[in-house]
Each structure stands twice: as C-alpha cells, then as structure tokens.
Amino acid sequence: MAGTYNPKVRPLTSLDSVGKWLVATRAVVFIMTVDSAILGGMLSLLISGYRSDFLPLFVATSVGLVLAHASSNLFNDYWDSKHGIDSSLDYFRPAYLPHPSLSGMMSQRALFLLALVHLVAALIVGFSLTLVRGPGVLLFAGIGAALLLLYAGGPFSLKKIGLGEISVVLVWGPLMVGGTYYILNGTLPGAVILASLPYALSVSTVLMGKHIDKLSQDKNLGVHTLPVIFGESLSRSFVKVLIFSAYLLLVVLVAFRTLPIWSLVTLFTLPRARAVFRVLDSPKPSEPPRGYSMWPIWFLGYVFWQNRRFGMLYFGGLALALVLSFAGISWAAL
C-alpha cells in the first residue's frame, strides 16, 4: 500500500542511542508495567496511607520492573532469532517493529549483552529493595524473573506450550501489583491480589490479540500459543471472555467492598468494548483496508487501545477514591 509506514525496511542509521534503545526494548509497551506499579502504589495509599519512604520505594520498584520488562523483551528477540522464529523479515515481529538484530541495529551478541545488562540492573535494584524490605522481595523477584526469562528462552519456552498468556496474568497482576504493594508495606492483603486481576486480565488480551494476528505463522513454526491451540475462531471468543471477565470481576469486587464504588467509572469504557467485540466477531481481513497504516497488526491494535481505556478509568476510579479519602471520606464507601 503506497505511503504505508513499513518499519521492517525503515533506515535506522538516523536514530541516536536513545532512539535505538526505545526501539530495541519495545519501550512503547512499558506503559503496562508502569500501570501495574501505579496500581500497587495507589492500593498502598488507599489501604495503608502515606509514609515518608513511599516515594523512593515506589520509584525504585517501578524502575526495577521496567528494567525487568526491557530485559524480557530483549531476551525474547534474542531467543526467537536464535531458534529460527524471527529469522525472516516476513515474520510478524520484524514486520511491525524493527527487530534489533535483523534490522542491522546490532549483532546477536550485542543483543544478548544488552539484555544481560538490563537483567543485572534489575537484579541490583531488587537486591537493594531486599535490604530495605527483607527477603520476601526475593520471592516476587525470583518468580517474576523466571516467568519473564522463560517466556521465550531457556530449556523450554512458555509461549511455545500455551503458557505465555497465562504467565502474563500472573506477572502483570499478583507479581507486579502485589510485589509493589509488598515492597511499600511489608505485607500483602488478599484484597490487593484480587484488585490486581481486572487489569491483569485486560493486559492478557493484548498478548492474545498479538498471537491471533500471527497465528498462521506461529503454527507453521511449531509455536503453540493459545491461539494456535484453540484456533482463530475460539481464540477471538476467548478474548471476548477475558474482556467481559475483567468488567465482571471489577463489579463483584465493588459489591464485596474490595474496591471502592468509584471504580465503577471503568464501566464507561463498555461502549468501546462492544466495538472491540464487533471486530472480534469477524475474521482478520486478508489485506489492510484502504488507509489502514498499522498492518499486519489488526486484533492487537483494537485490544491494546481497549486495555489503555480500561486501565485509565480503572486508575481514575481509584484516584478519585484516594482524593476523597484525603477529604475524610472512606475509600470503600458504598
């Protein structure tokens, strides 16, 4: 399609070091990790109140989580390229964003070293937080690191056996949100884990949408993501179930006073969700519609923006509860 931005052939020589880092680490998706940290921080303020060490601990935790996410993305590209998955510019990954090594931005060795540097930096942050909060931090860091690193590499790849999408719910929910809360307070109420799940379910739809978009390529390469296992039609229905479940769980948590009533503002995103459902009810077009510039992204684009809207209002409801709590109004008031 004439004039369509095609990043797999876009020259990268004009990018400075920061630009190359942003592209190589896929920094555009860090917002989901930052959101999980913010969710943990907001729940901490609502439940436990503000303490003098809140800000430095929150900033350090957020930086550590972003470094871990960057390391995971870099290792993902390294292992996929090494295993012959990202071996062609015709594959989905380098088609929507320049691949660090296939694009000529860096060698495979440099990619591995860059991933390792981010991992070591994340571990240093985690060790520092352990000195402040205690060995419990190691449990969150260890499980999170294992899931992020095993997603695409190691002795087996979670995404090749249908566990990648499940790991996303655990990482972006209980581990990131719960871990942030624990670092800030030294405890972890069950209510925090439950409150993390609506957003974690929303994040999982992003990965499902991406894997549906590249289902045929993954199937040919023997990568058994959930969409490959379920098939396209069932996978599109499953994404709808995940979206619906996030809203349903939110309402249930409000009803049982785990979340404040103000969290119901998230329901204002339902019209957008219905629009996404209409897209999911139809197969992916065989070619991009006229004027569509995000190809081959299709389902991924729709569910990503649904996730952004859901997350913004979910956090907005909690922020309103937080402001009202400062005014002396209970954050759990119904």
Residue 310, CB half-sphere, CA atoms under 13 Å: how many? 31
CA distance 17 to 12: 11
Task: Report if residue 5 sits inside a domain.
Answer: no
Task: Report if residue 10 sits inside a domain.
Answer: no
Task: Report if residue 333 sits inside a domain.
Answer: no
DSSP 115-149: HHHHHHHHHHHHHHHHHHH-THHHHHHHHHHHHHH
pTM of the model: 0.89
Q: Which comes out higher in pLDDT, residue 243 or 85?
A: 243
Q: pLDDT digit string (tens) for 128-181? A: 999 999 999 999 988 988 887 788 666 567 888 888 889 999 999 999 999 999
CA distance 143 to 151: 12
Is 239 within 8 Å of 303 (Cβ atoms)? yes
User: Which residues have CB under 8 Å from 303's CB, separation 6+?
Assistant: 205, 206, 208, 209, 239, 243, 276
Task: Report if residue 2 sits inside a domain.
Answer: no
Mean pLDDT (the chain) is 87
Q: For position 5, what pLDDT does the model report?
A: 40
Q: Residue 132 CA to chain centroid, in angstroms?
A: 27
Q: For position 78, what pLDDT does the model report?
A: 87
Number of domains in the chain: 1
Residue 13 pLDDT greater than 50, yes or no: yes
Which range is most confident: 6-15, 211-220, 242-251? 242-251
Residue 257, CB half-sphere, CA atoms under 13 Å: how many? 6
Task: Report if residue 7 sits inside a domain.
Answer: no
Q: For position 91, what pLDDT does the model report?
A: 64
Q: For position 4, what pLDDT does the model report?
A: 41
What are the two backbone dihedrals, phi and then psi, of residue 161, each rounded to the nearest 5 degrees?
-125, 25
SS3 161: strand
Task: Report if residue 226 sits inside a domain.
Answer: yes
**Parent domain of 274:** 17-326
CA distance 205 to 167: 12
Task: Report if residue 300 sits inside a domain.
Answer: yes
CA distance 231 to 221: 15
Token pair in block for residue 280: 């999911």
Task: Report if residue 33 sits inside a domain.
Answer: yes
